[in-house]
């Protein structure tokens, strides 16, 4: 079952602009994680936010979590061409070991 749904599927912006990606999920979670994937490569973990947290920062990344709406957003500020990649959210439930990924947002940052 696909828990996470991401929006938009694709996003094209200019360098220096901010990029916002959204993730919605269906069931209760223990945490939500964001990953980045450069074309055809392995995923790299960006940030983890727990269900009792509302906002988290890491460098140019800002993640918010709204458990009442079952949604999260990832903001990349002052984007760079090197941020061009696919970004995935993944949710971890409270029971068991499943990690469920969304389908991803493909971000293109033009120099």
Partner 1 sequence: EAQVTQNPRYLITVTGKKLTVTCSQNMNHEYMSWYRQDPGLGLRQIYYSMNVEVTDKGDVPEGYKVSRKEKRNFPLILESPSPNQTSLYFCASSWGALDEQFFGPGTRLTVL
Residues that bind partner 1 (CB under 8 A): 1-2, 30-31, 33, 35, 40-45, 48, 88, 90, 92, 96-104
Q: Which is nearer to partner 1, 79 or 104 (CB)?
A: 104
- Gap between the Cα atoms of 60 and 42, Å rounded: 21
- In whole angstroms, how close is the CB of 97 to partner 1 at the nearest point? 4
Task: Determine the 3-state secondary structure of 82 from DSSP.
Answer: helix
- In whole angstroms, how close is the CB of 57 to partner 1 at the nearest point? 16
- In whole angstroms, how close is the CB of 15 to partner 1 at the nearest point? 27
- Gap between the Cα atoms of 64 and 76, Å rounded: 12
Task: Determine the 3-state secondary structure of 78 from DSSP.
Answer: coil
């Amino acid at each position: 079952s696909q828990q996470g749904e991401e929006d938009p599927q694709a996003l094209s912006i200019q360098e220096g602009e901010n990029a916002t990606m959204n993730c919605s999920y269906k069931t209760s979670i223990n945490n939500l994680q964001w990953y980045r994937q450069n074309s055809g490569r392995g995923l790299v973990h960006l940030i983890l936010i727990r269900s009792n947290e509302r906002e988290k920062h890491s460098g140019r990344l800002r993640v918010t979590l709204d458990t009442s709406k079952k949604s999260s957003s990832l903001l990349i500020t002052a984007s760079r061409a090197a941020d061009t990649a696919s970004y995935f959210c993944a949710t971890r439930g409270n029971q068991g070991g499943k990690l469920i990924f969304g389908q991803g947002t493909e971000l293109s940052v033009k120099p």
